[in-house]
């Protein structure tokens, strides 16, 4: 399936075995409405994250991405927070691109968890971009709080109040030995937005965001454009398995696309092809880690059995409920092998 194909009308998923709770049955509804145009899809994604990001923070924490449990021991003992950091570290290891002082563009940065990690732990200069103004607001608030806490513990008397952290002339907030800033920006415009930066970024980082982009080929072209020579594109995302039949697609993938507000999912070899077409060479991966991240959705399904969250979703209409229902489809897709997760890195 071409990544730039027009988006087909949404249909209700075919039946299949699901784990229904009384709570989810109460709000059972057909999946999300059709994506009538590319811009309509982007508008719905922006609205979703504007409305739901506070809930993400309270339920899932500052890192809004999968956890990585690489061993049986980690699966039995590691918390989701430990596993989320493990995923970041895996991406660092396959890309070898982010070192102290690196300039990183974090695309689809969410509420800034990864951006803050790269700045505070590795001393990077990180620019995070997201389509959601609400996420920028939350990301800045969390960054200022972390920066204030760090600076006050090291330089102020214990009984003094931490001072308000200020942005520098370029909009960056200090964090550890690094710094970070957040910008509300449609990623499809990032090539033009950063075109005047002649130095280029050392790395473009994108985790679980590209699957939302209608024009994936344009993303790879823009990433190539904003990187310096030798810079790396570091990527983690969700995929459909290769060679799915129509029944498997209808049962497992269509509910995910509809509920998660996704244009048609790609396979990860399609991402490799788009990257090569844009001028990249493969540096690391693709590494399929589906079995090592699937626990994410067991935890997520447990966390969303909260009546207040379902009531909030119901207040947002069909998209809100379809989003929560898609959690079951994620679990089923991983179990059936039709839904995949992979990490990879490319070099300019």
Strands (E), 94-200: 103-107, 125-130, 173-175, 178-184
pLDDT at 20 over 70: no
Structure tokens at 159: 């009984």
- pLDDT value for 142: 93
Site of tokens 């999946």 = 31
The percent of residues in the chain predicted with pLDDT above 70, rounded, is 80
- pLDDT value for 44: 67
The percent of residues in the chain predicted with pLDDT above 90, rounded, is 59
Higher pLDDT: 10 or 276? It is 276
Question: pLDDT tens for residues 180-195?
Answer: 999 999 999 999 999 8
> Minimal CA–CA distance to 175: which of 141, 207, 144?
144
Q: How confident is the model at residue 161 (pLDDT cuts 50, 70, 90)?
A: low
Mean pLDDT for the stretch of residues 138-154: 82
- pLDDT value for 41: 65
Per 3-state DSSP, the chain is made up of helix, strand and coil in percentages (nearest 5) of 50, 15, 35
Higher pLDDT: 160 or 346? It is 346
Lowest mean pLDDT among 107-111, 164-168, 341-345: 164-168
- pLDDT value for 130: 94
- pLDDT value for 37: 60
CB–CB of 190/215 below 8 Å?
Answer: no
The end-to-end CA distance of the chain, in Å, is 25
CB–CB of 105/205 below 8 Å?
Answer: yes
- Give domain 22-153+164-347's CATH number out of 3.40.50.720, 3.20.20.70, 3.40.50.150, 3.40.718.10: 3.40.50.150
Q: What is the mean pLDDT of the chain?
A: 83
pLDDT at 237 over 70: yes
Give the C-alpha distances (Å, rounded to integers) separating 54 from 41, 104, 282, 298, 316: 21, 25, 36, 21, 14
- pLDDT value for 115: 98
Mean pLDDT for the stretch of residues 92-114: 93
Residues 202 and 221: their CA atoms lie apart, in Å, by 16
- pLDDT value for 145: 92
- pLDDT value for 321: 77
Q: How far is CA 14 from the centre of its chain?
A: 27
> Minimal CA–CA distance to 231: which of 110, 69, 80, 97?
97
Q: How many beta carbons lie within 10 A of that of residue 195, not counting itself? A: 11
Q: ω before 286 within 30° of 0 (cis)? A: yes
- pLDDT value for 10: 31
Pairing of strands 178-184, 227-240: unpaired
Q: How confident is the model at residue 151 (pLDDT cuts 50, 70, 90)?
A: low
């Amino acid at each position: 399936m071409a990544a730039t194909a027009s988006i087909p009308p949404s249909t209700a998923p075919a039946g299949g075995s699901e784990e229904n709770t009384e709570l989810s049955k109460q709000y059972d509804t057909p999946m999300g409405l059709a994506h009538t145009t590319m811009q309509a899809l982007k508008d719905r994604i922006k609205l979703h994250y504007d409305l739901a990001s506070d809930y993400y923070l309270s339920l899932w924490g500052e890192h809004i991405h999968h956890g990585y449990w690489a061993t049986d021991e980690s699966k039995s003992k590691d918390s989701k927070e430990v596993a989320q950091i493990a995923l970041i570290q895996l991406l660092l290891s396959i890309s070898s691109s982010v070192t102290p002082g690196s300039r990183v563009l974090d695309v689809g940065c969410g509420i800034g968890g990864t951006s803050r990690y790269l700045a505070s732990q590795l001393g990077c200069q990180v620019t995070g971009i997201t389509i959601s103004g609400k996420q920028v607001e939350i990301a800045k608030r969390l960054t200022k709080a972390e920066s204030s806490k760090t600076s006050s513990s090291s330089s102020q008397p214990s009984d003094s109040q931490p001072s308000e952290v200020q942005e520098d002339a370029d909009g960056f907030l200090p964090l550890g030995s690094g710094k970070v800033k957040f910008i509300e920006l449609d990623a499809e415009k990032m090539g033009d937005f950063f075109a005047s930066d002649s130095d280029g970024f050392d790395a473009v980082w994108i985790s679980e965001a590209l699957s939302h982009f209608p024009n994936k080929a344009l993303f790879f072209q823009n990433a190539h454009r904003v990187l310096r020579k030798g810079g790396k594109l570091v990527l983690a995302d969700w995929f459909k398995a290769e060679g799915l039949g129509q029944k498997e697609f209808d049962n497992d993938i269509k509910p995910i696309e509809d509920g998660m507000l996704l244009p048609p999912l790609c396979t990860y070899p399609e991402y490799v092809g788009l990257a090569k077409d844009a001028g990249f060479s493969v540096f690391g991966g693709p590494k399929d880690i589906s079995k090592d991240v699937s626990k994410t959705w067991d935890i997520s399904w447990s966390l969303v059995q909260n009546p207040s969250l379902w009531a909030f979703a119901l207040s947002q209409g069909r998209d809100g409920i379809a989003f929560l229902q898609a959690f079951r489809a994620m679990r089923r897709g991983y179990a059936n092998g039709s839904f995949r997760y992979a990490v990879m890195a490319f070099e300019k």
